[in-house]
Structure 1
Amino acid sequence: TKSGIIVTNSGITAEVLNKSAAGFLVRSPCGNQVLIPEGQAITRTQIVLDPGHGGRKDPGAVSKTGLKESDINLSIALATQLELSRLNINSVLTRTGDYPTLINIRALLADALSADALISIHHNSPSANPSSTPGAEVYVQSTSARSQRLGALVYEKTFDYLASIENISWVSRSDAGVIQVLNSQGSDAYGMIRRPTTPSILLELGYLSNPQEAELMTTDTYVKNISKAIAAGAQSFLTTDNTVSDSANKVRIYNPGPGLSSRSCDDALAMP
Structure 2
Amino acid sequence: MAARWCSWGLALGLMLTSAAAYAASTTLESVRLDSQASGVSVHFHFDSVPKYHWFSLANPARAVIDFDDTRAGDINSVSGGAVHRLRLARHADGTLRAVLDLGGKAQLDNVHVRGDDVIASIHGGASAARGASSSSDQDGSASSTSKPDRSHAASRRPNAVYRAEASNDSIVVVIDPGHGGHDPGTRAGNGLKEKTVNLAIAKRLYERLKQTQRIHPILTRHNDTFVTLRQRVRIAQEHHANLFVSIHANAYPNDRSVKGGTCYMLSEHGATDAKTAQLAHFENTRDRSLAGVHFSGDPTLNAVLTDLFQNASIEDADDVAQNIIHQFAQIEPIYRHKPPRANFAVLRDPMVPSVLCETAFLSNPHQAKLMATRHFRNELADAMYKGIVKYFHDHPPEKMRATGGSTYTVKPGDTLSEIASRQGVSENAIMDINHLHSKTLQAGQKLQLPHSH
TM over 0.5: yes
Deviation of 1:130 after TM superposition, in Å, equals: 3.3
Query: In the TM superposition, what are the counterparts of 1:86-105 in structure 2 within 5 Å?
Result: 86-88=211-213, 89-105=215-231
Q: Counterpart in 2 of 1:148?
A: 318
The CA RMSD measured in Å over matched residues stands at: 2.4
Residue 200 of structure 1 deviates from its aligned partner by 0.2
Q: Which residue of 1 aligns with 2:192?
A: 67
Residue aligning to 2:201: 76
Alpha-carbon distance, 1:197 to partner = 2.2
**Does the aligned pair in 2 maintain the 1:44–1:113 contact within 8 Å?**
no
**Distance in 2 of aligned mates of 1:59 and 1:47:** 24
Cα distance between partner residues in 2 of 1:116 and 1:125: 29
The alpha-carbon deviation at position 81 of structure 1 amounts to: 0.7
Q: Deviations over 1:236-263 (max 9, x none)?
A: 1111259xxxxxxxxxxxxxxxxxxxxx
Q: Deviations over 1:142-190 (max 9, x none)?
A: 3321111111111111222224xxxxxx9x5xx5641112xxxxxxx21
- Using a 3 Å threshold, how does the CA distance of structure 1 residues 180 and 50 change in structure 2: closer, same or farther? same
In the alignment, what sits opposite 1:130?
257
Q: Measure how far apart 1:126 and its partner are.
A: 2.0
Q: Which runs of 5+ in 2 are unaligned?
A: 1-6, 9-168, 268-310, 397-453
CA distance in 1, matches of 2:226, 2:351: 22
Runs of 5+ unmatched residues, structure 1:
3-42, 164-169, 182-188, 243-272
Partner of 2:331: helix, strand, or coil? helix
Measured in 1, the distance between the counterparts of 2:221 and 2:350 equals: 16
Q: Aligned partners of 1:217, 1:159: CA distance in 2, in Å?
A: 16
Structure 1 match to 2:358 = 204
Q: How far, CA to CA, are the matches of 1:129 and 1:74 in structure 2?
A: 24
In the alignment, the residues of structure 2 paired with residue 97 and residue 177 of structure 1 have an alpha-carbon distance, to the nearest angstrom, of 32
Partner of residue 217, structure 1: 371
Q: Verify the 8 A CA contact 1:61 1:124 in the aligned structure 2.
A: yes
* AA of the residue aligned to 1:78: K
Return the offset for 1:137.
Answer: 2.1
Aligned equivalents of 2:372 and 2:257: distance in 1?
Answer: 21
C-alpha contact (below 8 Å) 2:327/2:387 kept by paired residues: yes
Aligned length: 183
Deviation at 1:136, TM superposition (A): 1.4
Q: Is the 8 A contact 2:243 2:353 kept in 1?
A: yes
Q: Name which structure has the greater RCO, CA cutoff 8 Å, separation 6+.
A: 1
Larger Rg: 2
**Given the two structures, how large is their TM-score scaled by the length of structure 2?**
0.38
Q: Distance between the aligned counterparts of 1:72 and 1:120, measured in 2? A: 13
Go from structure 1 to structure 2 and tell me whether the alpha carbon gap of 1:69 and 1:177 turns closer, same or farther (over 3 Å shift).
farther
In structure 2, the CA distance between the partners of 1:196 and 1:79, relative to structure 1 (3 Å rule), is farther
Query: Partner amino acid for 1:69?
Result: E
Q: What percent identity do the matched residue pairs reach?
A: 27
Instruction: Give the counterpart of 1:179 among 334, 340, 350.
Output: 340
Report if the CA contact (8 A) 1:95-1:101 is conserved. yes
Deviations 1:20-46 (CA, angstroms, capped at 9, x unpaired): xxxxxxxxxxxxxxxxxxxxxxx9752
Task: Please state how far the C-alpha of 1:195 moved relative to its aligned partner.
Answer: 3.4
Determine helix, strand or coil for the equivalent of 1:75: helix
Q: Per-residue CA shift, 1:189-241, capped at 9, x if unaligned?
A: 21011235210000111111111101000111112111111011110111125
SS in structure 1 opposite 2:351? coil
